[in-house]
């Protein structure tokens, strides 16, 4: 049986490797970090998990698919190991998800209000927002709230752990501390050079199929094979802060204020710089820890290695605190600057495509020839986690072939996530797009 190599052990690589192993393939996953995962987009304990979208939206579909796939993984782990009980609640925490729109975006909101979605969807203008959600809104904004099972937050660390266990139980191999330092195409195979970061030795492996899911490092790994990719995928730095209301002030909040506070996270403002906030750690006695950030305050990166140790800029920290205070003001919870504490702040990294849409696709080599044995799962930006197993299923289908006849939605998915420069139908590069 051929050995399929997966490069990168974040949510994407682990999802692909799990689906490959689940379908009986022989799979080896290489991850440059040790078992303790901390330098990657998938680091942390909370991501917004949400499914609201227009009719036949591929990203809603990917979220829903992921929920189903997580349930299958949980069932499998429970069948395999009766000592630990696995549950969906280890990964998903149900909260209503609140979206803020400018009234100019009404057309986008109207697209969300279709029959199948109506029961999860509620909206309010500045007139009704306080009555409905305890929020005081500026006149020009509209609030939308999604209430659905498994919408709220998902915990990437827990999901990673379960995926890893699943891969090993299905006889897949996980190699931590193994960094891929070269990938070249020889006659009919790929030669992959792997550095063991403990021994400093490099070993060369042959593989007929390779899946690159290395997050922000993807372009670097493929630079000899497909140097043009740096025009399509760009690593970005995204600062985040973990904030809390000072314990003393939190203790003064009434029961109803605390409930309004909890109900208002996750919060996703689609106005301006797209501020997001979610509960990272619920309070046991004191105030909950809230993770905040903004997708439009992302920046380019000179040195991917150094960025993890660099502090976010002062103006970025200030902006995040200001948005937090503004959000709480909408809940009629008024805080002075001193009453907001920063628990920690750091830079995260993700990669973004030119079209801002993730890619799951075979790619062209530098001579313009489509390589069917080499697939990229990348450019996940700030939306990857909630759909990770959807992308994983798709990548495993690309590598192993799809079992069933593709549905309309599946074909839409393939088309949306195809390399923007690849016409999968004619298998040609669209002129002028790549070079």
Ligand X SMILES: Cc1cc2nc3c(=O)[nH]c(=O)nc-3n(C[C@H](O)[C@H](O)[C@H](O)COP(=O)(O)OP(=O)(O)OC[C@H]3O[C@@H](n4cnc5c(N)ncnc54)[C@H](O)[C@@H]3O)c2cc1C
Could you say which DSSP state residue 380 is in?
Answer: B
Nearest distance in Å: CB 238, ligand X: 4
* Residue 9 in the binding site for ligand X (CB under 6 A): yes
Q: Which helix (H) or strand (E) holds 19?
A: helix 11-22
* Residue 386 in the binding site for ligand X (CB under 6 A): yes
Judged by beta carbon, residue 136 or residue 344, the one nearer ligand X is 344
* Residue 240 in the binding site for ligand X (CB under 6 A): yes
Burial of 211: CB neighbours in 10 Å, binned 0-12, 13-18, 19+ = buried
* Residue 180 in the binding site for ligand X (CB under 6 A): yes
* Residue 42 in the binding site for ligand X (CB under 6 A): yes
Nearest distance in Å: CB 178, ligand X: 6
Q: What gap in Å lies between CA 409 and CA 60, rounded to an integer?
A: 11
Judged by beta carbon, residue 25 or residue 163, the one nearer ligand X is 163
What is the separation of C-alpha 199 from the centre of its chain, rounded to a whole number of angstroms?
A: 32
Select the residue interacting with ligand X from 4, 5, 6, 12 (CB under 6 A). 12
Select the residue interacting with ligand X from 8, 152, 362, 373 (CB under 6 A). 8
Chain positions 49 to 108 lying near ligand X, rule: CB under 6 A, are: none
Select the residue interacting with ligand X from 19, 25, 32, 237 (CB under 6 A). 32
Chain positions 413 to 432 lying near ligand X, rule: CB under 6 A, are: none
Judged by beta carbon, residue 253 or residue 313, the one nearer ligand X is 313
Nearest distance in Å: CB 180, ligand X: 4
Select the residue interacting with ligand X from 101, 217, 250, 364 (CB under 6 A). 217
Judged by beta carbon, residue 250 or residue 275, the one nearer ligand X is 275
Candidates 7-15, 78-86, 104-112, 333-341; binding stretch for ligand X (CB under 6 A): 7-15
* Residue 288 in the binding site for ligand X (CB under 6 A): no
Q: What gap in Å lies between CA 134 and CA 46, rounded to an integer?
A: 24
Pairing of strands 209-212, 3-7: parallel
In DSSP notation, 319-340 reads: HHHHHHHHHHHHTT----GGGE
* Residue 350 in the binding site for ligand X (CB under 6 A): yes
Candidates 100-108, 117-125, 212-220, 325-333; binding stretch for ligand X (CB under 6 A): 212-220
Nearest distance in Å: CB 388, ligand X: 7
364: its two tokens: 């062209």
* Residue 279 in the binding site for ligand X (CB under 6 A): no
Nearest distance in Å: CB 255, ligand X: 28
* Residue 280 in the binding site for ligand X (CB under 6 A): no
* Residue 152 in the binding site for ligand X (CB under 6 A): no
* Residue 380 in the binding site for ligand X (CB under 6 A): yes
* Residue 389 in the binding site for ligand X (CB under 6 A): no
Judged by beta carbon, residue 376 or residue 429, the one nearer ligand X is 376
What is the number of alpha carbons within 13 Å of residue 424 lying toward its C-beta? 17
Nearest distance in Å: CB 236, ligand X: 8
Q: What gap in Å lies between CA 7 and CA 183, rounded to an integer?
A: 11
Question: 174-189 in b/e burial notation, b at 16+ Cβ within 10 A?
Answer: bebebbbeebebeeeb
Judged by beta carbon, residue 167 or residue 429, the one nearer ligand X is 167
Enumerate residues 6+ apart whose C-beta is below 8 A from 205: 5, 191, 192, 194
Candidates 74-82, 125-133, 381-389, 422-430; binding stretch for ligand X (CB under 6 A): 381-389
- The CA distances from residue 230 to 218, 360, 416, in Å, are 9, 16, 20
Angle at 210 between CA 8 and CA 61, to 5 degrees: 70
Q: What gap in Å lies between CA 373 and CA 389, rounded to an integer?
A: 21
Q: Which of 185, 51, 56 is nearest to 121 (CA)?
A: 51
What is the number of alpha carbons within 13 Å of residue 50 lying toward its C-beta? 25
Backbone angles phi, psi at 342, to 5 degrees: -95, 120
Using CB under 6 A, list all residues that contact ligand X.
7-13, 30-33, 39-42, 47-48, 179-180, 213-217, 221, 238, 240, 293, 348, 350, 380, 382-386
């Amino acid at each position: 049986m051929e050995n399929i190599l997966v490069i990168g052990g974040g949510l994407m690589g682990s999802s692909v490797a799990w689906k490959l192993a689940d379908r009986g393939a022989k799979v080896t996953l290489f991850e440059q970090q040790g078992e303790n995962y901390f330098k990657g987009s998938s680091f942390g304990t909370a991501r917004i998990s949400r499914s609201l979208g227009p009719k036949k939206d591929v990203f809603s579909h990917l979220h829903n698919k992921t929920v189903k796939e997580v349930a299958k993984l949980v069932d499998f782990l429970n069948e395999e190991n009766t000592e630990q009980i696995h549950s969906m609640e280890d990964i998903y925490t149900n909260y209503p998800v609140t979206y803020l729109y400018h009234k100019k975006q009404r057309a986008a909101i109207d697209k969300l209000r279709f029959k199948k979605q109506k029961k999860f969807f509620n909206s309010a203008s500045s007139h009704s927002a306080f009555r409905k959600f305890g929020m005081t809104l500026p006149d020009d904004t509209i609030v939308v709230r999604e209430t659905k099972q498994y919408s709220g937050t998902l915990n990437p660390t827990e999901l990673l752990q379960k995926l890893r266990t699943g891969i090993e139980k299905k006889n897949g191999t996980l190699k931590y501390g193994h960094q891929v330092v070269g990938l070249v195409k020889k006659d009919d195979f790929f030669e992959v050079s792997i550095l063991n970061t403990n021994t400093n030795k490099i070993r060369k492996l042959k593989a007929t199929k390779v899946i690159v899911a290395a997050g922000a490092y993807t372009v670097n790994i493929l630079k000899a094979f497909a140097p043009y990719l740096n025009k399509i995928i760009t690593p970005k730095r995204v600062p985040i802060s973990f904030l809390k209301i000072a314990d003393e002030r939190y203790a003064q909040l009434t029961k109803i204020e605390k409930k309004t506070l909890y109900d208002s996270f996750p919060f996703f403002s689609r106005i301006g710089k797209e501020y997001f906030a979610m509960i990272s750690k619920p309070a046991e006695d004191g105030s909950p820890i809230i993770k905040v950030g903004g997708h439009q305050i992302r920046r380019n990166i000179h040195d991917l290695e150094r960025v993890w140790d660099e502090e976010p800029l002062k103006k970025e920290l200030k902006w995040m605190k200001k948005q937090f205070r503004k959000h709480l003001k909408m809940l009629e919870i008024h805080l002075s600057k001193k009453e907001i504490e920063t628990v920690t702040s750091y830079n995260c990294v993700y990669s973004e495509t030119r079209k801002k849409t993730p890619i799951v696709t075979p790619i062209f080599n530098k001579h313009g020839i489509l390589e069917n044995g080499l697939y990229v799962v990348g450019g996940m930006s700030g939306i990857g986690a909630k759909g990770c197993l959807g992308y994983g299923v798709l990548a495993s289908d690309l590598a192993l072939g799809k079992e069933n006849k593709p549905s309309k939605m599946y074909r839409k998915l393939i088309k949306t996530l195809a390399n923007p420069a690849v016409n999968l139908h004619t298998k040609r590069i669209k002129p002028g797009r790549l070079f």
